[in-house]
Structure 1
Amino acid sequence: MSSSSSSTKDQAALVESSKRAAAFQAVADHLLPSYTRIGVGSGSTVVYVVEAIAALGPSVTDSMTFYPTGAQSEALIEAANLRLQYINKLAPADQLDVAFDGADEVDADLNLIKGGGACLWQEKVVATAARNFVCVADFRKLSDRLGKAWKKGIPIEVLPIAAPRVLGELRAMGARDPQIRSGLPGKAGALVTDNGMWIIDAPFAPLRLPSDEGEAAEGEWTVDALADRLIKIPGVAEIGLFSGKNGLEVASGAQKPVAAYFGMADGTVEVRKAAAAAS
């Protein structure tokens, strides 16, 4: 085996172990035995979240019901012999106690880019239905500004017939070569989401935070301003920016996590906690 292939395998193993460490600590800190309704997101890190939940044993999990964000998390829940239910069965007056999900990138204010796996719409529905949303990721997802580490662009779920016009709007807003996501290698043409929509990936300049000083250059956006503008484009169903308030600031509808857990390259777990509402 060559040294380069050995190094690649070592790096892959490091990433997986970091994901697992973050997932187990997040579950230990945020899944209280009294909880009965739990959201389960999508992505490679969530595999370890479900493993950590199942490791608690039936004496804890038998009183819990788990709500997936898509086919992958549904399969994980069933394979772990956990009770499955769907978010459309949750009464409007009820909330999930907690939801665990990953991210493609997390900035210094705990804004997220999500949707690399094309489940962003369901992920946002589940996250905003939870009293507490907890993000679990590895060290590669940690960034000071969205768009610095995740170069593929902000995932945007769109109505197929509107896609050409949405692309035009995005270019006018400063997006750098936005593209309809391909379904290859499994499917020719555009990727089709669980909702029958397409995904556009729209790269922008790194997104500014309110704390950033100086004038914004042409084509630069703050996270919240871009999120507000994108969701108002006709034909856009949902966007992969999770921004605004967290569950400590609002009683319901929070898109940002109350905490983000990052498995680090040295084997430790870094925890970043959200700010509470101002008094």
Structure 2
Amino acid sequence: MIEKKEVGEKAVEYIKDGMIVGLGTGSTVYYFISKLGELVQQGLSIKGVPTSKQTEKLAIELGIPLVSFREIEQIDVAIDGADEVNPELHLIKGGGGALLREKIIAKAAKTFIVVADSKKYVETLGTFPLPIEVVQFGYEMTMKYIRELGGNPKLRHKKGIPFLTDNGNYIIDSSFQEINRPEELEKSLNLLPGVVDNGLFVGMADAVITIVDNKLVTKVRR
């Protein structure tokens, strides 16, 4: 938890007065949003766009003003976590089930910054099962297509029933062993009937704040 707090709070340095800020979801981003709430109480003027109902609730509790896409043209900075990050700063996201909204907000941001503890930084993506958001109708066929791409898909459950995203969709978690070509896999999955989007964020992160050899570092995409 110490690492999560350290990297999460570091990200606040990227937030300036007047910005529209994408607010991610997850245990590391929690510390970023909590610190941001403190600064708002001290007079920082920003507006947030949350990636999930969970984040929306937290932001409201902390007094962070929120806006919707109907009210803005672009997001200045989005801060979010990741389940895995590789040296090229490609990501696996979606462990919390908010990957679609997270990807929409990351794409809309001028700058997308990821906060991740040292355990999330990996040489090759794929140890963490890849979350794939799918529509409920015909999900069994969608799972069949994922198997044909080399995956081992499992429908995510919570408390014994299928997990539903904030968008009313299912999540399929699929292991692919090592993901050596994330660009190809991301595109192939999104072409499958029933797939809404998947948790591969390829070439989207501009920087990752993490811990290497017990030191706080910021890695910038080359």
TM-score range, shorter chain: over 0.9
Percentage of matched positions with identical amino acids = 33
Residue among 94, 107, 112 paired with 1:115? 94
Matching residue of 1:202? 174
Shifted more, 36-45 versus 77-86: the winner is: 77-86
Residue among 45, 50, 73 paired with 2:28? 45
Letter in 1 for 2:57: A
Letter in 1 for 2:62: A
For residues 207-218 of structure 1, what are the structure 2 equivalents within 5 Å?
A: 207-208=179-180
- Shift in Å, 1:60: 4.4
State the Cα deviation string for residues 179-203 of structure 1 (Å, max 9, x = none): 011122xxx3211111111000111
1:183 partnered with 2:158: yes
**2:40–2:46 Cα contact (<8 Å) kept:** no
Whose radius of gyration is greater, 1 or 2?
A: 1
Cα RMSD (Å): 1.5
1:83 partnered with 2:65: yes
Q: Which has the higher strand share?
A: 2
Letter in 2 for 1:27: V
TM-score w.r.t. the length of structure 2 is 0.94
Residue among 203, 215, 218 paired with 1:271? 218
1:260 partnered with 2:208: yes
Residue among 134, 147, 151 paired with 1:158? 134
**2:37–2:59 Cα contact (<8 Å) kept:** no
Give 3-state SS (helix, strand or coil) of 1:166's partner: helix
- Shift in Å, 1:74: 0.6
Letter in 2 for 1:31: I
Give 3-state SS (helix, strand or coil) of 2:109's partner: coil
**What is the alpha-carbon distance in structure 1 between the residues aligned to residue 172 and residue 213 of structure 2?**
32
Matching residue of 1:138? 117
**What is the alpha-carbon distance in structure 2 between the residues aligned to residue 144 and residue 60 of structure 1?**
41
TM-score w.r.t. the length of structure 1 is 0.76
Give 3-state SS (helix, strand or coil) of 1:160's partner: coil
- Structure-2 change in CA distance of 1:157 and 1:26 (3 Å): same
Residue ranges of structure 2 left out of the alignment (5+ in a row): none
- Shift in Å, 1:41: 0.6
1:228 partnered with 2:212: no
Give 3-state SS (helix, strand or coil) of 1:22's partner: helix
Letter in 1 for 2:16: L
